[in-house]
């Protein structure tokens, strides 16, 4: 949970405030894969009271490290992220088409919106590094750790006649 106390905003005692905080985040389950936060997520935020109703604009950055699995070699690796965050929270009721998020009481829980933003910031294909060689398609050996003992590529039987021509 990533709660922020906004009681001073609700009482009209302050118009803006800066926060620096960190919080543990839950593991994300996406398409059968578990994505975990390696360390607490760090937030540097600025809250500003706007409008006649208690409407609070939360702006800032979130940063952290995720544990992802490379799609080429299937090894786990650390993926660092820094994301810009801007959300508008209001005490009045909102519907799903509004760009504002309603809250009740003296705290705003940022966790749901942070998790949504992290999911949107994930790479389409998680690759540990650009030069990752992946797995051998025949024996499954991780080619980043060394060469495998495979004899080479299997030749499609339809093209075996062509390989005979190469031998001559």
pLDDT, one tens digit for every residue, the chain (168 residues)? 688 888 887 777 788 899 999 999 999 988 778 899 999 999 999 999 887 677 889 999 999 999 999 999 999 999 999 999 999 998 877 666 678 888 888 889 999 999 999 999 899 899 999 999 999 888 889 999 988 877 666 667 777 777 777 676
The pLDDT value given to residue 146: 86
The pLDDT value given to residue 168: 65
The pLDDT value given to residue 95: 67
**Burial classification of residue 42, based on how many CB atoms lie within 10 Å of its CB (0-12 exposed, 13-18 middle, 19 or more buried):** middle
The pLDDT value given to residue 153: 61
Output the 3-class SS for the chain.
CCEEECHHHHCCCCCEEEEEEEECCCCEEECCEEEEECCCEEEEEEEEEECCCCEEEEEEEEEEEEEEECCCCCCEEEEEEEEEEEEEEECCCCCCCCCEEECCCCEEECHHHHHHHHHHHCCCCCCCCCCCCCECCCCCCECCCCCCCCCCCCCCHHHHHHHHHHHC
């Amino acid at each position: 949970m990533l709660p922020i106390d906004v009681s001073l905003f609700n009482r009209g005692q302050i118009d803006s405030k800066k926060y620096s905080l960190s919080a543990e985040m839950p593991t994300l389950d996406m398409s059968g894969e578990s994505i975990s936060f390696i360390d607490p997520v760090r937030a540097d935020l600025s809250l500003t009271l706007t409008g006649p109703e208690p409407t609070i604009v939360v702006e800032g950055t979130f940063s952290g490290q995720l544990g992802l699995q490379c799609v080429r070699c299937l090894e786990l690796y650390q993926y660092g992220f820094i994301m810009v965050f801007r959300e508008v929270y209001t005490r009045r009721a909102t519907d799903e088409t509004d760009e504002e998020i309603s809250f009740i009481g003296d705290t705003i829980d940022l966790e749901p919106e942070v998790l949504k933003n992290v999911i949107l910031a994930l790479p389409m294909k998680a690759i540990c590094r650009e030069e990752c060689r992946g797995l051998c398609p025949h024996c499954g050996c991780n080619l980043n750790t060394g060469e495998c003992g495979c004899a080479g590529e299997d030749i499609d039987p339809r093209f075996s006649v062509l390989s005979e021509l190469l031998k001559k």
